[in-house]
Amino acid sequence: MKILLARLALLALVLAAWELMPRHEIVNPLLLPPLSDVLAMLGELLQRPQVHLAIGVTAAEVAVAFLIAVPLGAALGVLIAENEYLGEVFKPVLFYVFSIPKSIFLPMFILVFGITFAQKVAYAAFTTTFVVMLSASAAVESVKQDYLLVARSYGATRMQILLRVYVPSMMPLLLEALRISMIFNFTAVMIAEMYASRAGIGHLIAGWGENFQMRQLFAGIIVLATVAILFNETVRYFEARCSTWRT
């Protein structure tokens, strides 16, 4: 309870500082407009059809990239974890590629796909697949051999071992993987939109930034932050529910 109060106090302090410091010109209001101005602009922006369209485009890019990357990454991750030969061959390469900042490949995606919806999706899915793959293979390897032995000794079929042992055993790590890969996925879509695009929230934010429209810029940041935090916390809620069986 005390912790909660302290957290709320911290939030209130930050918001108050955001409001008061630009108002009294302790910080330059041209760079950081007061919170109330930003919120007023946010209300106004959310009325504009142009903004609705941008949110729709970004949401579609994020969703499609995620729907491609998660099953693909999970399948590849399970494959390299389960197949010893493939694991030995591919894992070092994957770790090397994983360490490279993916944004340096962005020009390649533009050359191949043009500045399009497909380019954003392909780039984000490419980035996210690596995260999902490595997390999924770690999740498979986290399953204790004893759990499998117990199931086998009681005559479990392969399907029963998969559904009744692997899946619940991996669940905490899988949820974590889902959460972290969404952070990467969202970031990738934003980078792609801000780098070169004709639509999407990232496109608008980049434009506002270039034109020194700080109230619009911060309003855009609030929208994105809210969406990202909501997704993250939803998954974290389920994660906490199965935290006691983490090994």
Q: Which residues bind another protein (CB under 8 A)?
A: 144, 146-147, 149-157, 160, 164-165, 168-169, 171, 242, 244-245, 247
Q: How far is the CB of 155 from another protein (least distance, A)?
A: 5
In the complex, the smallest distance separating the C-beta of residue 84 from another protein, rounded to whole angstroms, is 14
Beta carbon nearer to another protein, 47 or 153: 153
Taking the least distance from each CB to another protein, the nearer of 40 and 148 is 148
In whole angstroms, the minimum distance from the beta carbon of 51 to another protein comes to 44
Q: How many helices (H) and strands (E) does the chain have?
A: 11, 0
Largest CA distance in the chain: 74
Shortest gap between Cβ of 244 and another protein (angstroms)?
A: 5
Distance in angstroms (rounded) separating the CA atoms of residues 191 and 184:
10
Burial grade of 32 (CB within 10 A; 0-12, 13-18, 19 or more): middle
Q: Give least dist CB 176 to another protein, A.
A: 16
30 vs 159, which CB is nearer to another protein? 159
Residue 32 is encoded by which pair of tokens?
């950081």
Q: Which is nearer to another protein, 105 or 238 (CB)?
A: 238
Q: Is 121:65 a contact under the CB 8 Å cutoff? A: yes
Q: Which is nearer to another protein, 96 or 245 (CB)?
A: 245
- Provide the angle, in degrees to the nearest 10, between the axes of the packed helices 84-99 and 49-82: 140
Give the SS3 label for residue 237: helix
Question: In whole angstroms, how far apart are CA 194 and each of 57, 73, 185, 217?
Answer: 13, 25, 14, 12
